[in-house]
Chain A
Amino acid sequence: MEILLQQIINGLVLGSMYALIALGYTMVYGIINLINFAHGEVLMVGALTSWTIIGLMQESMPGTPGWLILVISLVIACIVAATLNFVIEKVAYRPLRNSPKLAPLITAIGMSILLQTLAMIIWKPTNKAYPNLLSTTPIEVGGAVISPTQVMILSVTAFSLVVLMWLVNYTKLGRAMRATAENPRVAALMGIRPDMVISATFIIGAVLAAIAGVMYASNYGIAQHAMGFLPGLKAFTAAVFGGIGNLAGAVVGGILLGLIEAIGSGYIGSITGGVLGSNYSDIFAFIVLIVMLTLRPSGLLGERVADRA
């Protein structure tokens, strides 16, 4: 029973990170129908930037408390990632807005490779130890343990989600985003500038990705140039799982995916009598996705896209 509880906690932590990344995918997809393959790389840039800032701060200001360093590095990582995503959209996606649908997909893939390469040049292609800046004493909850880092991940994610929901549902920008997602041309007739809305969406997505990147690196204690790819892929899976274009769907999809992955890899060994081990954990996401889409092609909460696809 302790194993189950432990895996549920791990799954929630993992899932909340997927949810953060998935939101970026789903917002971009909802508005311009593009799988932004470079989204995972924005996450990676965020994590590596914060790693650099932490290193610099620990060297120059040794007395600063860990949480403050983390917060400052997080803010700077968000700013860098947001600028980066803003530029990517301007350079690689905007000129192709009216081109065949596959063209922006290829530039997105190109961007993803380009960012990984640049990261290799800037940060060297080695694994970097991401320091643990919070206390390491684990907190015990009914037989399972949860580390302060995990508590931080859960609370930061919850906070970001609340802010995002408020932004999308109760602000002028959010209304403009929803209108543009519904129909950009009609939105433009109503006095909304779709270009501005799309830029804003990319910036918000990048901030979420950078937060997820810092959380990811703190959780695993490692940052490197290829770290964004797999979480990006799984987050996109989560977004499709929940119904792409649907914000609540991305959150639900992300958390469910994290839970399925954690519980699945915790139990697959004992269920199959040791034939399949936890090294298969990466495929749960995809198997669930295939089954899900076969049964319900628009995803868990997806309705809007059904008429468009």
Chain B
Amino acid sequence: MKNSKNLALYILGVVAVLALPIFLQSQGNAWVRIADIALLYVMLALGLNIVVGYAGLLDLGYVAFFAVGAYLFALMGSSHLSDTFPWFKAMFPNGLHTSLLIVIPLALVVAGVLGVMLGAPTLKLRGDYLAIVTLGFGEIIRVFLNNLDQPINITNGPKGITAIDSIKFWGLDLGKAWKFDGFTISSVTLYYYLFLALVIATIIISHRLQISRIGRAWMAIREDEIAAKAMGINTRNMKLLAFGMGASFGGVSGAMFAAFQGFVSPESFSLMESVMIVAMVVLGGIGHLPGVILGAVLLAALPEVLRYVAGPLQAMTDGRLDASILRQLFIALAMIVIMLMRPRGLWPSPEHGKTLQRKGVASDAPVAPGSLQTHAPGIETPADELPGAASRPMSINP
């Protein structure tokens, strides 16, 4: 009964998500754009969720990987390098215009390697120390992006890189509207479907990771690192893997962002951006996929939507309260109020850590001989199944 109801809800959800841009398109492309940006943030938040939610490593410099992906695509998809370096122009007169099928894996690998490189020196650190080091790392990347225009102009400094290619594959250009039979699908809608596909891939990977041995190892580390180590988990490799995997999603998302905007500048990768991504993960429900998605959609779309609501309010207050200030005000209030009312996030995971594996053991499942997972007959409930145990607050820094 419950299953068929769930299935119906799933199908409804899928149809709604697929039809959303068609519906939004009739209200103007700006709304589809908002949906696109929200999808990119969902991807970023899911990537960070691997690091923070699963492995319990608080990373405040996550936007650095986003930036790396974006700049990678910007350099490979624009004529900036050919314009600045004559020797490069000699090889590629119009600049590299790399195919998407190369850029996505490349962004994934480069950001992933960078993530591991960041992770390596910070392995000994935990909790807030780790947070502040990753934050510093993010700032270092941003300062470099901002200043690498001289003496060698690589990033074009604060001016940023313009005229970045749109995404093209199999002869299809997502930068142009698609027309057939008088029916047009605008460019932003095409991007929507591409991003949606990437987000779905991210969700599947995240979900598979969560229920795999690796995911369980991460959660064991999150719950109690010393115990995890004692149980034979290679905590060093697992942490590096978490950093690498999380970063690679950030890299891909960044590359998509660059292609979508056609422009990158260091301003898009400020510390505040990192902080917002962490806020998405935590607001939604840390370590819980639907929660993280909800948090990302909410925080990404809210400011854009408020942009339209803010106009009348601004008129009421003689322009003192301008739209951008009002948006910030609402975001800040939302962060505070939501956390005060639901400290575990809007949609927290019903169980995690120790309780996770117990879910898999159905009460009437046949017991394999010699299995240690089930309860011995006659013993009713183990002590740790007392009602309070499941609602134990999650610890990031035990």
Contacts and interface: CB of A to CB of B under 8 A. Distances in A.
Interface stretch (A3-11, A104-112, A178-186, A208-216): A104-112
Contact of A294 (B124, B328, B336, B395): B124
B139 A286 contact: yes
A107 B338 CA distance: 9
B344 A103 contact: yes
B196 to A, nearest CB: 28
Given A35-B131, A279-B147, A309-B397, A286 B136 contact: yes
Contacts of A106: 278-279, 282-283, 335, 339
B393 A282 contact: no
B129 interface: yes
B143 interface: yes
Given A237-B132, A286-B140, A96 B151 contact: no
A121 B339 contact: no
B325 A99 contact: no
Contact of A114 (B144, B329, B393): B329
Contacts of A103: 282, 339, 343-344
B140 A294 contact: no
B275 interface: yes
B128 interface: yes
B126 interface: yes
Given A117-B329, A274-B151, A280-B147, A100 B344 contact: yes
B332 interface: yes
Contacts, number: 145
B125 A287 contact: no
B140 A287 contact: yes
Contacts of A91: 336
Contacts of A102: 52, 58, 278, 282, 286, 396
A113 B286 contact: no
Interface string B322-334: 0001001101111
B336 A92 contact: yes
Contacts of B395: 100-101
Choose among B52, B128, B147 the residue with the greatest number of A CB atoms under 10 Å from its CB: B128
A95 B283 CA distance: 16
Please tell me the size bucket of the interface on B.
35 or more
Contacts of A22: none
Contact of B328 (A92, A111, A117, A290): A117
A188 interface: no
B126 A309 contact: yes
A158 B193 CA distance: 61
Contacts of B394: 100
Given A107-B336, A309-B129, A290 B136 contact: yes
A273 B199 CA distance: 46
B393 A98 contact: yes
A283 interface: yes
B333 A99 contact: no
Contacts of A286: 135-137, 139-140
A256 to B, nearest CB: 16
Given A102-B396, A103-B343, A103-B344, A237 B126 contact: no
Contact of A116 (B146, B147, B320, B328): B328
B388 interface: no
Contacts of B294: none
Interface string B143-167: 1101100010000000000000000
A291 to B, nearest CB: 8
A211 B344 CA distance: 36
Contacts of B329: 114, 117-118, 121
Interface string A67-80: 00000000000000
A204 interface: no
Interface in B339-398: 339-340, 343-344, 393-397
B133 interface: yes
Contacts of A161: none
Contacts of A98: 393
A289 interface: yes
A114 B124 contact: no
Nearest to B338: A106
A5 to B, nearest CB: 27
Interface in A269-296: 274-277, 279-280, 282-283, 285-287, 289-290, 293-294
14 contacts: A33-B397, A103-B344, A106-B339, A109-B275, A120-B325, A125-B325, A236-B132, A237-B132, A283-B139, A283-B140, A283-B143, A283-B144, A286-B139, A293-B129
Q: Which 5 A-B pairs have the closest CB atoms?
A: A286-B136, A110-B335, A99-B343, A114-B332, A113-B332
Given A102-B282, A117-B328, A286-B140, 20 more contacts: A96-B339, A99-B339, A100-B394, A101-B395, A102-B58, A102-B278, A106-B282, A117-B329, A120-B328, A240-B129, A274-B151, A277-B147, A279-B143, A280-B143, A283-B139, A290-B121, A290-B122, A290-B137, A293-B133, A309-B397
